[in-house]
Amino acid sequence: MSKDNEGKKLCVSSLVLGILGVVFSLFAPAAAYACAIPGLVSGVKKSRRNYRASAGIVLNIVAISLALINSVLGVLMTLKIFFSDNDDRNKN
């Protein structure tokens, strides 16, 4: 396999993993991290003047950001529910 063909495959894989990462970031942040981090690494490896690699990098960064926001909001909601239940029990 030639170097150029291998580079194209890395660019396409970065793009596909970025798309999957954005979709998963809304519902399953752990799966989004599993898709977006390798996608970002493969996109950065072959980002020289290739629009697919650039698009993959952007999508992977967006996926990681959305997954991080989703994770933080999930933890905050869990803590709020946990502490509000304890407060209600102590009032009665």
Summarised one tens digit per residue, pLDDT across range 49-79 is 778 888 889 999 999 999 999 999 999 999 9
Contact between 17 and 56 (Cβ < 8 Å): yes
CA angle 32, 38, 41 (to 5 degrees): 130
Sign of the CA dihedral running 54, 59, 62, 64: negative
pLDDT average, residue stretch 7-16: 85
- Residue 31, phi then psi, degrees to nearest 5: -70, -35
The H or E element spanning position 49 is none
pTM of the model: 0.82
